[in-house]
Amino acid sequence: MSRTIKRGSPPRRQIQTKRRQQPKASIVDRAIEVLPISHDTVRRIATWSIVGAVGAVAIATATWFGVPGAIGVAIAEGVGRAGLRVEQVEVTGLSRMDRMTVYAVALDQKSRAMPLVNLEDVRQKLLSYGWIADAHVSRRLPDTLLVHIVERKPTAVWQDRGKLSLIAENGVWLEPVKAEAMPDLPLVIGPGANEQEAAYQKLLDAAPALRPVVKAATWVGNRRWNLLFESGETLALPEGDSDAAKALVKFAQLDGVRPLLGKGWIRFDMRDPSKLVARKPGQVVNRAIADPEDENAPQRPALIEAKHTAFTMVQG
């Protein structure tokens, strides 16, 4: 009797699967992970950079080989449609200048495509505004214009034909100002007085002791100054910057030795720098005030014939 012997199946070998090793991160990937921006943002920046570079190369190539301007413009417009287009303007440096005006100038373009924005043209338009001493305009891809403004500083108030205005150095007009809102700045009066502002500041520097008590200055006949003091007196100075400065210094010396301001005089005349002539209310003659340091001067002031002189008084 035969027996059937069943042979058992040999044990199966367990096949161990090898784990795939993750590729090592490159130096660039590790650097990106450190940045506080996402991978998507980095990819977008890279895309815009490539598009911008390609557009710039295309326009430069067209210009080099003399391709008609219309083709270059078409390429630039294509770059703009691809994403390099002015969508926003960032402005810095403003204090007094109107911000919306700067935006309007920066966006006043025939085309908003970045390659076609004329940065120097934007700058020159901005420099036409009084408040703006200088402007720096640049691009930040993909869609932003950067405008940095350097403003002028007001140096004086100019009164002309009853209107008050802020002016900067060299008489540059800035903006109107109301009488009740006038800043603590020198006041110059009369046609052309704004253009003489720098000379007026230099004149006051010659006699710094008088600067705090000078209320205003009128530019007379486009040739000389009349100064109005806080105490109400007017001082007529001679023509010429040098003679005017010498006369003002002399007046300051006389006022220092024997106070003249606030003593009832209404007008001093030093159009002849060698002498000071003064007048009080109601007098029909002017009085020559002697220099205390002049040994040849008479001990008692001499009277001289009164002269009719036109001068400007400032209501205040």
- Please give the pLDDT value at position 305: 33
Query: Is the pLDDT higher at 281 or at 36?
Result: 281
DSSP 314: -
At the topology level of CATH, where does 31-151 sit? Ubiquitin-like (UB roll) (3.10.20)
Lookup: tokens for 297: 């001067």
pLDDT single digits (tens) 199-248:
999 999 999 999 999 999 999 999 999 999 999 999 999 999 999 999 99
The domain 154-304 is placed in CATH, from the list 3.10.20.740, 1.10.3470.10, 3.40.50.11690, 3.40.640.10, at 3.40.50.11690
Lookup: tokens for 231: 């105490």
**Residue 93 above 80 pLDDT?**
yes
Lookup: tokens for 219: 């530019």
Q: Is residue 147 within 8 Å of 140, Cβ to Cβ? A: no
Please identify which residue in the block is written with the tokens 């209501």: 315
Query: Is the pLDDT higher at 143 or at 163?
Result: 163
**Residue 35 above 70 pLDDT?**
no
Rounded mean pLDDT of 142-166? 94
- Please give the pLDDT value at position 81: 46
Report strand pairing: 187-189 vs 154-160.
parallel
- Please give the pLDDT value at position 241: 94
Q: What is the largest CA-CA distance in the chain?
A: 172
Kindly report which listed range (50-64, 65-79, 125-139, 144-158) carries the lowest average pLDDT score. 65-79
pLDDT single digits (tens) 248-276:
999 999 999 999 999 999 999 999 988 89
- Please give the pLDDT value at position 117: 85
d(CA 232, CA 266): 7
Average pLDDT of the chain to the nearest whole number:
77
**Residue 17 above 70 pLDDT?**
no
**Residue 122 above 60 pLDDT?**
yes
State the pLDDT confidence band at 36, using cuts at 50, 70 and 90. low
Burial of 15 (0-12, 13-18, 19+ CB in 10 A): exposed
Q: Which long-range contacts (CB under 8 A, 24 or more apart) does 299-306 make?
A: 304/277, 306/279
DSSP 67: -
Q: Is residue 222 within 8 Å of 193, Cβ to Cβ? A: no
Q: Where are the domains of the chain?
A: 31-151, 154-304
**Residue 301 above 90 pLDDT?**
no
Q: Is residue 197 within 8 Å of 169, Cβ to Cβ? A: yes
